[in-house]
Amino acid sequence: MVLLPAGYAAASTAAVSVSIIPVSGDVDPGMAAFIERALKDTASSDIIIFEMDTFGGRVDSALKIVDTISDVTGRKTIAYVSNKAISAGALIALSCNELVMKQHTTIGDCAPISFSSEGPQMMGEKFQSPLRAKFRALARKNNYPQALSEAMVTPDMEVLEVITPTGKVYMDSVAYPDLPEEEKKKILSKRIVVKKGELLTMDDAEALQLGFSRMSVSDLDELTEKLGISASAVTRIEQKWSEILSRFIHSIAPILLMVGLGTLYIELKAPGFGLPGMIGIVCLSLVFFNQYIVGLADYTELIVIALGFVLLGFEMFVIPGFGIAGIAGFICLAVGMVLAFQDFMIPDPKLPWQGELLLKNVIQVLGSLVTAFLFSLLFLRYGFPKLSKVIPGPYLSSTLTGSHADSMEVIGIKPGDTGIAGTALRPSGKAEIGRRTVDVIADGEFIDKGTAIKVSEIKGNRIIVIRDSYHE
């Protein structure tokens, strides 16, 4: 059964308070920030139960959660696997003092992987070694089998179960031949529990048998019942709306980056400052301040991004066109956003996943920048001219019908040409001469509309006409 802190057995129903913290969905910076806040809010609780249901996620976020849970003192922490604790979820679960699993749930498979065009690829020894060290440290701290814990990370390990008169131990098959002969003679039996080439993944029964889980339960109520805790003593900590929004913004950050950078470029190419510029500032601000809230961005990133906006403003309002200031502004924004997606500036060689994370962030930001630039060009070329069809005017909608050039030679009118007065000529008006409608001036008399006229002379750009009595 679960081992309670000293003194709990005698007064379990009276003095013990329990808080439940859900650990569900992707392991990301938002989850790390939520768990840190939840542990502060439950400082008076005697037992903290982490309800696990996750396939894992970011290594850096998982390690931050592990450190946060490991720093809890004076309170018991229990990982309760309600569905699954895979990959980074297994690492978080083993950071708790005890593990309890719901029936038919699973835990394990914490091999570091990366994604490429060929799909997920398992990362090499350089990445596995520091993770194995972390698993060993957690196993020693919370009394889990060390060799089996490492087998969740590395598929090349073969783990043996060795039975001796003093009990059962698990060891790497590579370490077994190095045992003294006296120790080998005491071994009653041995068997392979994790084959080479496999990662350790356990259901609740296997986890109980191998010494990880303390017990299997049907649901959370049975767990609290076996702890001897009344339902009134249990408090569930839920995410605040702001934390849910933060995790959502993090999930759409690449889209916000693309929209923000694209609209800023459109603003640079358009006169003045308007809606595209405001949209760009809002999108990039949402991304940055979200990273600031979850603890990844700091004042350094803020200064770099602010410098980028200043350079873009200088390009917009001081220097015409798009030049060095604009390019430097976008570079500052890109650098600031890359740094805002991680809690380090230069990757630590001892933590190889930091280099992978930096590369991923650079690709994400540069990809958003290039995509935004291309979409902006397409919008300026094809979308912007069509806005007049959906946005009300006023617009200059007149055509060149009825216009005339200053030179009569261009429009082909000469003295002697005949036509019809299109309007009353008193003395000026319009007339139809040939197939053109032109401005004319009547010579010496007013001429009614519809009267036949004839060009008498042309003075500069003025057409002088008289009544054409021959065609009346």
Give the CATH number of the domain where residue 428 resides.
2.40.50.140
In a domain, 394, yes or no: no
pLDDT in tens, 155-177: 888 998 888 888 888 888 888 88
Q: What is the mean pLDDT of residues 424-442?
A: 84
Q: Is residue 21 part of a domain?
A: yes
| CATH number of the CATH domain containing 94 | 3.90.226.10
Based on the fold, state whether residues 420 and 455 are members of the same structural domain.
yes
Q: How far apart are CA 267 and CA 274, in angstroms?
A: 7
Residues 41 and 113 in one domain: yes
- Residue 260 forms part of a structural domain: yes
444 residue type, one letter = G
Radius of gyration of the chain (CA): 39
d(C-alpha 287, C-alpha 246), whole Å: 9
**For residue 391, is pLDDT > 60?**
no
The residue range of the domain holding 304 is 252-389
Q: Domain boundary at 212, 241, 270, which?
A: 241
Q: Provide the 10 A C-beta neighbour count for residue 307.
A: 17
Token look-up 């030049």 returns 323
Res 96: pLDDT: 95
Residue 396 lies in a domain: no
Backbone CA torsion sign across 101, 44, 74, 295: positive
Q: Are residues 71 and 110 in the same domain?
A: yes
Q: Which of 357, 389, 421 is the last residue of a domain?
A: 389
270 and 372 in a common domain? yes
**Residue at 93 is within a domain:** yes
Contacts of 410 (CB under 8 A, 6+ apart): none
Task: Give 304-327 pLDDT, tens digit per residue.
Answer: 988 988 888 887 777 665 678 878
Is the pLDDT at 302 greater than 70, yes or no? Answer: yes
In the predicted structure, residue 381 carries a pLDDT above the cut 90: no
In a domain, 132, yes or no: no
| Same domain, yes or no: 256 and 358 | yes
Mean pLDDT to the nearest integer, 183-202 = 87
Position of tokens 């400082």? Answer: 43
User: Which has more confidence, 318 or 299?
Assistant: 299
Angle of the 275-293 helix axis to the 324-340 helix axis, nearest 10: 30
Residue 450: count of CB within 10 angstroms of its CB: 10
User: Which tops the pLDDT comparison, 416 or 390?
Assistant: 416
Predicted TM-score (pTM) of this structure: 0.70
- 80 plus 228 within the same structural domain: yes
Query: Which of these, 461, 459, 466, lies nearest to 403 by C-alpha position?
Result: 461
- Asked whether the predicted pLDDT for residue 277 surpasses 90, the reply is no
- Distance of CA 55 to CAs 28, 81, 249, Å? 12, 12, 20
Grade residue 11 by pLDDT with cuts at 50, 70 and 90.
very low
- Per-residue tokens: 236: 């569930």
Residues 57 and 59: their CA atoms lie apart, in Å, by: 6
Q: Does residue 307 lie within any of the structural domains?
A: yes
Check whether residue 110 and residue 209 sit in a common domain.
yes
Query: Given a cut of 80, is residue 382 above it in pLDDT?
Result: no
pLDDT at site 23? 94
Say yes or no to pLDDT of 404 above 90. no
**For residue 192, what are the β-bridge partners?**
160
Q: Give the confidence band of 8 by pLDDT, cuts at 50, 70, 90.
A: very low
Task: State the pLDDT confidence band at 186, using cuts at 50, 70 and 90.
Answer: confident
Question: How many structural domains compose the chain?
Answer: 3
The band of 10, judged by pLDDT with boundaries at 50, 70 and 90, is: very low
Band of residue 84 on the pLDDT scale cut at 50, 70, 90: very high
pLDDT per position as a tens digit, 37-49: 999 998 888 999 9
What pLDDT sits at residue 13?
46
For the chain, what is the HEC assignment? Answer: CCCCCCCCCCCHHHHCCEEEEEEECCECHHHHHHHHHHHHHCCCCCEEEEEEEECCECHHHHHHHHHHHHCCCCCEEEEEEEEEEECHHHHHHHCCCEEEEECCCEEECCCCEEEECCEEEECCHHHHHHHHHHHHHHHHHHCCCHHHHHCCCCCCCCEEEEEECCEEEEEECCCHHHCCHHHHHHCCEEEEEECCCCCCEEEHHHHHHCCCEEEEECCHHHHHHHHCCCHHHEEECCCCHHHHHHHHHHHCHHHHHHHHHHHHHHHHHCCCCCHHHHHHHHHHHHHHHHHHHCCCCCHHHHHHHHHHHHHHHHHHHCCCCCCHHHHHHHHHHHHHHHHHCCCCCCCCCCCCHHHHHHHHHHHHHHHHHHHHHHHHHHHHHHHHHHHHHCCCCCCCCCCCCCCCCCCHHHHCCCCCCEEEECCCECCEEEEEECCEEEEEEECCCCECCCCEEEEEEEECCEEEEEECHHHC
> Is residue 345 domain-shared with residue 222, that is, in the same domain?
no
Q: What percent of the chain has pLDDT over 90?
A: 25
Assess contact for 450 and 420: CB atoms under 8 A: yes
Q: What percent of the chain has pLDDT over 70?
A: 86
| Alpha-carbon distance values, 423 to 250, 447, 451, 467 (Å) | 69, 9, 9, 14
Convert the pLDDT of each residue in 325-345 to its tens digit.
878 888 888 888 888 888 888
Domain boundary among 389, 420, 437: 389
Check if the beta carbon of residue 110 is closer than 8 Å to that of residue 152.
yes
Whether residue 299 is found in the same domain as residue 426 = no
Structure confidence at residue 1 as a pLDDT band (50, 70, 90): very low
Of 80-94, 297-311, 347-361, least confident by mean pLDDT is: 347-361
439 has pLDDT over 90: no
Indicate if the pLDDT at residue 2 is higher than 50: no
Residue among 468, 412, 405, 415 at smallest CA distance from 439: 405
Question: How high does pLDDT run on average in the chain?
Answer: 82
298 plus 325 within the same structural domain: yes
Task: Kindly state whether residue 151 falls inside one of the protein's structural domains.
Answer: no
User: Within this chain, do residues 233 and 356 fall inside the same structural domain, yes or no?
Assistant: no
Burial class (CB in 10 A: 0-12, 13-18, 19+), 385: exposed
Average pLDDT in the 87-113 region? 92
- Say whether both 274 and 421 belong to one domain: no
Residue range 99-110: average pLDDT? Answer: 93
